Each structure stands twice: as structure tokens, then as C-alpha cells.
Amino acid sequence: MGIHAEPGEREVTADALRDAFRAVYGTDPEGVWAAPGRVNLIGEHTDYNDGFVMPFALPHTTIAAVSRRDDGLLRLHSASGDVDGAVVELYVGELHPDAPAQGWAAYPAAVFWALRDAGHAVGGADIHYESTVPTGAGLSSSAALEVVTALALNDLYDLGLEGWRLARLCQRAENVYVGAPTGIMDQTASACCTAGHALFLDTRDLSQRQIPVDLAAQGLRLLVVDTQVKHAHSEGEYGKRRAGCEAAADALEVDALRDVPFEGLDDALARLDDEELVRLTRHVVTEDHRVEQVARLAGDGDFRALGPVLTEGHASLRDDFRISCPELDLVVSAANDSGALGSRMTGGGFGGSAIVLVEDAAAHKVEEAVLAAFASAGFRTPRVFSAVPSEGARRLA
């Protein structure tokens, strides 16, 4: 089976991965697994506030050919994008958050650490990865790398862990071993999404609903615009927003901002005397409300009505949460001014991607308008593609 690749990129297949594994390690892998990146339709920076999110899986996927080893050695090799071809060698018994592996290898190493730390008897392995998930684009390339690793180990070691449990372990891997204070959305999206659906996830108890999203049937399309502005969550701003939200929840004497009801928002804001906490709280509470709105509209099949809600979400992230950037704002204004139904930044912010909801018939015009706006602003040419809700993590061979 082929894995999605952009036009002009080589297609990645399970057979090709087996061949590449053999070329690197000289033996056949025991199996091949895949885990996708994601876009988030709505629900940004709500996942560490116990709130709601609604992502779907992209066709862009990270795949891994894996064999177990019985000597505790972990060998990692990737042939993706910006990674050099060296095999990284680590010993699973020596993995520790105090001295994490460097670069991309930190993510798979983190998963080995988290599984072992949770008491699962996971030994060494040889792994070869390839990926079509753009890195640093806000499309969860790290979660795809973590989840594909966790799923392979879950199968090979018969751990019997469900998708949401693997997602939790991957989140812990990223929080504790890699040191990035992210929420649970990306890993759950990669592990639990299904083709043709967005995942409505309550991040408090991880209860889930699969909501059918067939935009093509409605004559609609969702464009993803990767601004190519790179972001890095572990660098400060993400953690500051998270700490601010926790401070606001403390000040309001609730467990998490999710507990502030939308109807009681004005009263809650009046109780906060710090302007920054007011803005953070307003974003999270209105964003949770927008996720519920979008889930309801999608459930009714009223996808055109999503547009204004997406655009409102962007304004909230730009003005209240303050995590947009000129390139993301330009996607939104150029797209909406040229006839898009609505648009917003997606993911952690400070760069990465935006999503644009358009009528099929207007897609080309809107894309051209965004490209022209970027050219006249002197910004790097963005990468634009249509996103269809795709399969979550799975074994390929």
C-alpha cells in the first residue's frame, strides 16, 4: 500500500521500507507500521486546559520498519527530509530524561523510555523511518514519530495497549523525556483518528466521538497552507501560555479553565485583575465553545457555517492568546478577502500552518490570492495542499 506523498515526492510503500531497512541493517524487519500527522479543525490550546479539540488525521504519514533486538541496543535510522543518514545508537537501559538523545532521535528514544518507565518489558530494536509529514509545520510530525514507534512496540511486545493509552504514554515521553510541555491532542489524533472523520476529543477524560467530515460531498475543500515559518514549542512561549492558563485557573479556583462556563465568562473575567490572564481565559473559554459549535454544525452537515467560526478562532488566537505571526495573519486575510468561507491558524502557533475552508469552485482563486499576497509581502512561498480526513495509526505489513 502506498503512503501519501506530495506531487513530485517519491511514494513511500511498505515494500520500499522493507528494502530500505535491509539496506541499512542487512536483515528483514519484523513488520512495518504507519502513523499520520494531523490538522486541527478547531480547539487550539484547549488540550492542556482539560477542554475540547477536533483534529483529523492527514494522509501525510510516518512509517517505520522495525525488528526487536535482544541485546538492549536501540539503532535508529531515518531517510526523511532534513535528517542526515547516520544510524543513532543508544542502549535502552541507559535512556534517561536527564540526558536525552539529541535531535529527531529524542522522540523515539522518549517512547522507549516512557514504555519502560511504565513497567513494560521493552528491549532494544532496529528501526528505519521515512515520513511525508512536513516537519515544523504545525502538523504533528513529532506525534507521528512517537505514535508509530509506540504502536510497533505495542504489537511486537504484545502489550495490548489501546490507542488512547499509547497516546498518553507518548505525551509523557514528550513532556518528561523531550521536555516539551505539550497537551494530549496530537498523539491522540495520530493514534485514534479514522478515515472520513474528525475526532471530537474531551481531553479531560479522553472520551471520543468520530464525526463524519465529507467536505467533497458538499462541494467544499479544506486547504492547508504551510507558511514554512518554523516554530519550536520547547522554546518558551508555549510553556508560558500554559503556565498563564494554570495561573488563571488557580485565581478562579477551578481545576482547569475548562470549568469556566461560557455563560459565566464575563463574571469570571471580572474576577481577574491581570490583563494577560483575562486574555488567556477569554481565548480558552470561547475556543471550547467554538469546538462545541463546530461539532454541532458538522453533525448537522452544515459545513459552510463552519467558516465564520474558524475565522473567529483565528482572531482569538491572534488578539487574546497572541500566538499568531504576520504570515499566518496574511493567509487568513488574503484567503477570506478572496472568497474563502473562513480560515485560521492551526496547531501550536508562531508559524506553521493555517487552514482555509473554501468552495471547491473558489479553491484555485483563493490559493492564487494567498500566493500573490505572500509574494508581494516578500514572504517565502507557502506550500498549499487539500486535506482529507485520513486513517490513524496502523500496521501495514
3-state secondary structure the chain: CEECCCCCCCCEEHHHHHHHHHHHHCCCCCEEEEEEEEEECCCCCCHHHCCEECEEEEEEEEEEEEEEECCCEEEEEECCCCCCCCCEEEEHHHCCCCCCCCHHHHHHHHHHHHHHHCCCCCCEEEEEEEECCCCCCCCCHHHHHHHHHHHHHHHHCCCCCCHHHHHHHHHHHHHHHHCCCCCCHHHHHHHHCCCCEEEEEECCCCEEEEEECCCHHHCEEEEEEECCCCCCCCCCHHHHHHHHHHHHHHHCCCCCHHHCCHHHHHHHHHCCCCHHHHHHHHHHHHHHHHHHHHHHHHHCCCHHHHHHHHHHHHHHHHHHCCCCCHHHHHHHHHHHHCCCCEEEEECCCCCCEEEEEEEHHHHHHHHHHHHHHHHHHCCCCCEEEECCCCCCCEECC
Query: Considering only residues 37, 342, 348, 382, which one is a binding residue for ligand GLA as defined by CB under 6 A?
Result: 348
List 186, 226, 288, 320, catalytic entry: 186
Residue from 182, 188, 281, 390 in contact with ligand GLA (CB under 6 A): 182
**Residue nearer to ligand GLA on the CB measure, 67 or 142:** 142
**Does position 367 bind ligand GLA by CB under 6 A?**
no
6-14, 97-105, 183-191, 269-277 -> range binding ligand GLA (CB under 6 A): 183-191
Q: How far is the CB of 331 from ligand GLA (least distance, A)?
A: 17
The one among 3, 25, 34, 44 contacting ligand GLA by CB under 6 A: 44
**Is the Cβ of residue 88 or residue 256 nearer to ligand GLA in the bound state?**
256
Per rule CB under 6 A, is residue 36 in the interface with ligand GLA?
Answer: no
Work out which of 342, 347, 382, 389 binds ligand GLA, going by CB under 6 A.
Answer: 347
Q: Does 185 bind ligand GLA (CB under 6 A)?
A: yes
Nearer to ligand GLA, 287 or 327 (CB): 287
Q: How far is the CB of 217 from ligand GLA (least distance, A)?
A: 28
Asked if 123 touches ligand GLA (CB under 6 A), the answer is no
Q: Is 302 a catalytic residue?
A: no
146 binds ligand GLA (CB under 6 A): no
The nearer residue to ligand GLA, 48 or 112, going by C-beta atoms, is 48
Least distance (Å) between residue 185 CB and ligand GLA = 4
183 lies in the site for ligand GLA, by CB under 6 A: yes
List residues with catalytic annotation: 186
For binding to ligand GLA (CB under 6 A), which residues are involved? Answer: 44-45, 47-48, 182-183, 185-186, 347-348
